[in-house]
Amino acid sequence: MIENLTGKVAVLTGGGSGIGRAMAERFGSAGAKVVIGDIEPAALDEATAALSAAGADVHGVPLDVTDPASLDRLRNEALERFGAVHLVCANAGVAPIGMIADTSLSDWRWVVDVNLLGVVLTTTAFLRNLTGQGAGHLVLTASLAGLTTAPGLGPYCATKHAVVAIANTLRAELTGTGVGISVLCPSLVRTRIFESERNRPEALGGAAVETGPARTFFQQTLSATGISPAEVAERVYEAVTTGRFWVFPHPDEVLAAAEAHIADIRATIGG
């Protein structure tokens, strides 16, 4: 938990757009110094300029969360610029759409590298600094897809379940260290998540997108029902400043998913 973010240093991956940018804006408005890393240069520049114009002390760093050296640079630049790091948000993620039968091995590797190993690398790049100073907070961006599944999002759901497992494990491992942790599990949020292929490396297939009915369904549902990134950022801000582990911006959907899961188990076991 970080009760008061004034003067604290927040580092965010995937801070150039969507939820990451909104969290950076929320922490900046609370007086935090902000370091945002992102793979997309134009989004990174635009977010850095907007945060600065809004009065935040901000530093932008080109970042690829699949590369340990890139994360070392992010940490080193944050420490050089601001002297310490207090809040780390492992947020960068990608969500290509397609049925498992049609998903290439290179897409599995891309999603696992960004969504799972990217979170692992971000966490480990900063964890010793946080535990060494005996204070700080980690936020791992998972998803409602970390608690349930959806046809067309197989690799995404698999990696988000893994992020929830990592967060739960760290919750126990960090007990008594002074370092807190939250796991963010939103349902749909109005961002460019379903245009993730814009950031797929050429070696793994480049920007080509699957154009089947699942994509249309997810994009239409996101436009129709998605909440704003700012609403999500507010829930994260509350969790960080009060020390809450679970961050559920869509509580009704989470409860429905959990109850359906238990009902399924009960129907199998009986009782």
Ligand X SMILES: NC(=O)c1ccc[n+]([C@@H]2O[C@H](COP(=O)([O-])OP(=O)(O)OC[C@H]3O[C@@H](n4cnc5c(N)ncnc54)[C@H](O)[C@@H]3O)[C@@H](O)[C@H]2O)c1
* Residues making contact with ligand X (CB under 6 A): 13-14, 16-20, 38-40, 43, 63-66, 91-95, 114, 141, 143, 186, 188-189, 191-193, 196, 199, 222, 226
Q: Which is it for strands 136-141 and 33-38: parallel, antiparallel or unpaired? A: unpaired
Among this protein's residues, is 156 annotated catalytic?
yes
CB of 121: closest distance to ligand X in angstroms? 10
Q: Which is nearer to ligand X, 50 or 135 (CB)?
A: 50
* 190 half-sphere exposure, CB direction, 13 A CA radius: 9
Q: Which of 110, 156, 194, 218 is catalytic?
A: 156
Q: How far apart are CA 25 and CA 186, in angstroms?
A: 18
What percent helix, strand, coil does the chain show, rounded to 5?
Answer: 55, 15, 30
* Residue with the two structure tokens 């944050």: 78
Retrieve residue 115's tokens: 């969504």
Task: Provide the minimum distance between the beta carbon of 42 and ligand X in the complex, in angstroms, as a whole number.
Answer: 10
Nearer to ligand X, 180 or 186 (CB): 186
* Closest distance to ligand X from the beta carbon of 262 (Å): 22
The least CB distance from residue 212 to ligand X, in Å, is: 19
Minimum separation from the CB atom of position 91 to ligand X (A): 5
Tell me which residue of 166, 165, 189, 195 sits closest to 248, measured CA to CA.
189
Task: CB nearer to ligand X: give 135 or 165.
Answer: 165
As to burial, measured by CB atoms within 10 angstroms (0-12 exposed, 13-18 middle, 19+ buried), residue 177 is middle
3-class DSSP state of 138: strand
Comparing CB distances to ligand X, the nearer of 37 and 136 is 37
Q: Give the dihedral of Cα atoms 169, 171, 123, 84; nearest 10 deg.
A: -160
CB nearer ligand X, residue 112 or residue 135: 112
d(CA 236, CA 139): 8
Active site residues: 156
